[in-house]
Structure 1
Amino acid sequence: MTAGAVAAAASVRVPAGRWVRGLLSIAAGPAAEPAADRILRRLGLSVGIAGVIVGLVELPEIAEQSRGADPGRVLLTVVLAFGLFPVLAVVSVAMNRRAIQRTAAAAAVSFLLAALMVPSTYPVLPAGTEQIWQYKVLVLGVLVAALSWRLSLAVGYLVLSCVLISAANAAVLPEVTPVAFVNAVARSGGLAALFAWCVIYARAAAARVDRESALESRRAAAVAGAAARERERARFAALIHDAVLSTLLDASRGGCTEPSVLHEQAQRTIAQLDAVRGGGIAPDRLDAQSAIGFLRSAVHEVNPEIEFRAQRPGVGGDLDMPLEAAVTLAAALTEAARNSLRHATVPGRAVHRTVTVTIGAGGIRVVLRDDGAGFDPCAVPPDRLGVAVSILGRMSRLPGGAGFVESRRGEGTTVTLVWGNGG
């Protein structure tokens, strides 16, 4: 394809693609949003748009069945059935979880009110009509109920709506037998249950992801805390061996050491012991050496072949990093390493991966680079949570933290994670 052809195609296709990606990214919500809220937001947008589309598609049949009926009552019935679905779509993009669920609940109740109006709105249906139009769109009401309420209430709504709308359908059709009524309830209930199960299962899976993420974070914090305490014990043991025993040995030699030198050495040893006892580096704080060791261990647990480098170009005080920040940084780094191992493979050649940690008195900067396949960040679907939630989301929730991903197809990927103690 020539450059001119590419430009011509881009002028037609790119704006639409960008518009769709932009809408999906807005609907996805903040990167730091819990998985349960993100799924609810996307389902709310999907169901809201589906309600609008179904309402438009059903308009010709609604008009056909409404011949001879009171236009005002027909309009009210249609508005009750479909009116809150566009509102749900807008709320799902722009507002929080509680607003989405309240709007969905209102849409579910409104849908039942429309069913209650059917017998009085349609006293006579045109000849040849097999079912009222609302019977065909029953699944919409069940979907919004599954979005807004817990499992027991959603199942109760499903049963009630199937019975109520089937009864409304039987009330406006001539000669509906009990067998036909039971068959209508079963048929509508089976279809609605399938869609409701999909929504309920998706929400339950997202909630499970949130629980597992929280549990994993607590486990990582406990392991890191134990490691930090072990490092403190080792440092204290080394101090006793190197300083205290050396001072006692010199003192036992009598005149072999000048009294002034021995006095200064004892004072320095006491000062060091006071610093350790007073928490110079507390068990929940990491200095530069501890932070580097912690991150190196995290990376090599994923793959020991990843090259790890540490730099301290600046001068000044030592790093003083909260353990919680180190755990979050390590979790984001290991997820980035796993992503590289999963997706950066290039057939026929080895992919080189390097982690570079740069530490200054004010913070830490971690860069993971690979020369693998690379990707187009704009083309990543919004439902891919690895980068958005596990890397960028973690860092955005960390006070003083930030994350950046740069990649191009065929040119590898660079993930940069930074943390500053001024945040």
Structure 2
Amino acid sequence: MLIDTNRLLADARASVSRAPVPEDLALERGAPDRALDRFAAVYGLALRLGTVGLGAIAAVLSLAPPVAPLWLVPVLGGLAVWCLLFLSVVVRHGLTHRLVVADSLIVCAILLLQGHLVSAAELPNSSAWLLPIATAAVLLAQLRLRPAVGVPIGVLISAADALGQSLATNFQPSMLIGAGILVIQTGLAAATVQLVRRAGRAAELECERQAEQDRDAQVAAARRADEREHFRQLHDTALATLTMVGSGSVRSGSAILHARAASDAAALRALSTGPSRTDRQERLDDRLRSVIETEAADLDIAAALPVVSVRADVAAAISACVGEALRNVVRHSGVDAASVGVSVDRAGRLRVDIRDRGRGFDVRAIGAHSRGVRESILGRMADVGGVAEVLSMPAGGTQVVLRWGDGDRRG
């Protein structure tokens, strides 16, 4: 049976590159602008209702000629109705552009009627109750509209204030104070809002850049882990079988070799299907029995395998480690017997022991290039959050201990 391992590895690696970006790394675009818009809605609503309410009280308390209730009461009533409409729109749709423009035009119209709404004593000093209402309109325009629209509206409100005072009485230079204050407020508010928006967008871009770096790092780590698993599978399957044939452990026409070749082909094909669902439970004892039948057909195995269920990825990792340990017994121990035992302590921690009484070896002599122990056993257990330990000495046999425990098993 011929197996195109290059194609199988390419298919498996492509499955990693198609993996979706983790949800915790996905960044919502425009978040700073939306946060500022929400603030503008709350602040704008409080500003409009507050200035109209306080202004109405000040207007009533400062009622004096030429102000007449015939003018003041309808204007205050109209402002009250406008506040209710303003509240309704903000609650349902937020601080919309049209609402802000309408608010500015209404304020401009009221400012032109200052001669009927503000006492003659207050007009020259620009201390009328209408100034806070006009200030609110200026700030709302800068908060919600683009500078190309908001700044001209602020200037328009300032001009309406100056014109309204001029129409009410003879022009005096002090009348320009209120209009000047509104112009300054327009410029400062527009500049501040733009600085805040730019800072928010710069922060958003930096977050996107950092998220992209984190995503790339995670993808690179996943690919490296995927490649390590591919090498482990190749080492544990096709390369192990070829080593057995080359060393004369099995004959080319034996039934054992045919069974191993079929098992190797299935394992290599599985590389392109991706990892198993980690939330699915599997019987570890069943998997270990299958591994013993495949990898230790020539050994006398003393197996103690109680019924234990673990996550699918953990079961796959442990069974692969046991398979590699048994292959090492066949190839290197010089004995024909070994034991495999599974136990679970009271805390729910799982332990698997593979022992032989063979010739053993010096654990310190394991080189960095040795994939059989470092990758197929130690590295594989580390990838699923477990620990593997190899205990051996020359002429003292070998013991491989696999430990895993997070409470996610069923006995």
Give the alignment's TM-score, normalised by structure 2.
Answer: 0.51
Q: Which runs of 5+ in 2 are unaligned?
A: 1-28, 281-307, 315-347, 349-411
CA contact (8 A) 1:52 1:85 kept: yes
1:248 and 1:88, CA in 2 relative to 1: closer, same or farther beyond 3 A?
A: farther
SS at 2:171 equivalent: coil
Pick from 148, 152, 155 the counterpart of residue 151 of structure 2.
155
1:116 and 2:116 correspond: no
Pick from 228, 240, 256 the counterpart of residue 234 of structure 2.
240
1:127 and 2:123 correspond: no
Give the CA RMSD over aligned residues: 3.9
1:176 and 2:155 correspond: no
Map 1:14-413 onto structure 2 (within 5 A).
34-63=31-60, 64-65=62-63, 67-69=65-67, 71=69, 73-78=71-76, 84-85=82-83, 94-95=91-92, 99-102=93-96, 105-120=98-113, 122-123=115-116, 125-129=118-122, 130=124, 131=126, 132-177=128-173, 180=174, 183-254=177-248, 256-257=250-251, 259-276=254-271, 278-281=272-275, 315-318=310-313
1:192 and 1:82, CA in 2 relative to 1: closer, same or farther beyond 3 A?
A: farther
CA contact (8 A) 2:32 2:200 kept: yes
Letter in structure 2 aligned against 1:50: L
SS at 1:101 equivalent: coil
Letter in structure 2 aligned against 1:216: Q
Whole-angstrom distance in 1 between the partners of 2:310 and 2:168: 85
* Structure 1 residue 274, shift from structure 2 partner: 0.5
Please identify, of 142-151 and 78-87, the stretch whose mean Cα deviation from structure 2 is larger: 78-87
1:133 and 1:205, CA in 2 relative to 1: closer, same or farther beyond 3 A?
A: same
* Structure 1 residue 207, shift from structure 2 partner: 4.5
Whole-angstrom distance in 2 between the partners of 1:252 and 1:34: 63
Q: Which runs of 5+ in 1 are unaligned?
A: 1-31, 289-312, 320-357, 359-423
Letter in structure 1 aligned against 2:42: L
Match of 1:385 in 2: none
Whole-angstrom distance in 2 between the partners of 1:74 and 1:212: 53
* Structure 1 residue 271, shift from structure 2 partner: 0.9
Instruction: Name the larger-Rg structure.
Output: 2
Whole-angstrom distance in 2 between the partners of 1:124 and 1:35: 41
CA contact (8 A) 1:101 1:148 kept: yes
1:108 and 1:144, CA in 2 relative to 1: closer, same or farther beyond 3 A?
A: farther
Whole-angstrom distance in 2 between the partners of 1:266 and 1:233: 22
* Structure 1 residue 82, shift from structure 2 partner: 6.5
Whole-angstrom distance in 1 between the partners of 2:71 and 2:104: 15
